[in-house]
Amino acid sequence: MTAPASSVSDLVHLRMHHPEAVAEAAARRRRRPLVGSGGRLMIIAADHPARGSLAVGERELAMANRFELLERLCLALSRPGVDGVLATADILDDLLLLGALEDKVVVGSMNRGGLAGAAFELDDRFTGHRPEDLARLGFDAGKLLLRIDYHDLGSLDTMHTTARAIDTMAAHRLPVFVEPFLCRRTGGKVRNDLSAAAVSTSIAIASGLAGTSAYTWLKVPVTEKPEDMARVMESSTLPAVLLGGEVGEDQDGAYERWRTALRLPTVRGLVVGRSLLYPSDGDVGAAVDTAVSLLEPGGTGGEGGREET
């Protein structure tokens, strides 16, 4: 049995000389239930690079440095209250080899083919984890992106492929987090419509896909008017987590929007990536701790929600 890597040099050595170490690490990983006794989920997202989305704010290649990203991920995963990680195979393989996924929820990112800024961006093909990969590796769930443009005929193919992926995940009894958006091209760029009507419609469409919704979760954004979230989340009875997204300089405003939405009955947690891994003040631990505090009963965020190491 190959020992876990303790450094980047060890990672490279294992990948060169012992590629079987990834499967070994997956097989011996200590697993846990998807949702713990508190009924909430705090997942760190890091599946952006595989879609060519490397920017954080004005730093165009912030997430291109894999060594730095892994360091930030390991720090985030070590914080109390963080349940797990969402990422593509390359990053999850690294984290497995580093021993960072013990007793964590592991969510594999399934469709990354819609590269950011590409002419085919809305062709979100399943270039990542397949359901059988997630089952074989003993991972806990999958995530897929569902973007629909009413003026793009290819969106029907995306919907069809998504439905069949949900069917296959259900056959493996694996939860799948569906991230739906209605979107449109504006000035050559894909823009997600975060109006209440659009988010409600996207939730309704996603909820009805496949032959069963038994294993389907939703991964939803906060609407452009946060006060609309209560009405929007009445569009489905499926459990949902909030998509963090990139929040820029207004981190406190983002925390407040998340805190308010987390009071809603179907909203069961947060899946947040760049805004916690690359906070504007650079303090990853504090950003993660504050986000975790929002999930606690009566969580208010801010300094009072942070736990010092």
Confirm if 299 and 261 have CB atoms less than 8 A apart.
Answer: no
pLDDT at 304 (0 to 100)? 35
Q: What is the pLDDT of residue 224?
A: 92
* pLDDT score recorded for residue 296: 86
pLDDT category of residue 247 using cuts at 50, 70 and 90: low
> What tokens does 7 get?
């450094």
Q: Which of 21-25, 36-40, 212-216, 284-288 has the lowest mean pLDDT?
A: 36-40
d(CA 86, CA 105): 8
Is the full-model pTM beyond 0.75? yes
**Which of 249, 240, 162, 164 lies closest to 199, judged by CA?**
240
pLDDT at res. 307: 33
Q: Which CATH number fits domain 8-71+81-272: 3.90.1150.10, 3.40.309.10, 3.20.20.70, 3.40.50.800?
A: 3.20.20.70
| Share of residues in the chain with pLDDT > 90 (%) | 84
The region of weakest confidence among 111-115, 141-145, 241-245 is 241-245
Residue 166 has what pLDDT? 98
pLDDT of residue 246: 66
Mean pLDDT computed over 120-140: 96
Rounded CA-CA distance 156/149 in Å is 9
Confidence band of 308 (pLDDT split at 50, 70, 90) = very low
Give bridge partners of residue 297 from the DSSP assignment: none
CA nearest neighbour of 307 among 290, 283, 284, 282: 290
**How does pLDDT run across 248-305, given as a tens digit for each residue?**
667 788 889 999 999 999 999 999 999 999 998 899 999 999 999 999 876 544 433 3
The predicted structure's pLDDT at residue 57: 85
CA distances (Å), 263 to each of 230, 260, 266, 270, in order?
Answer: 9, 6, 9, 12
- Convert the pLDDT of each residue in 1-12 to its tens digit: 666 777 778 899
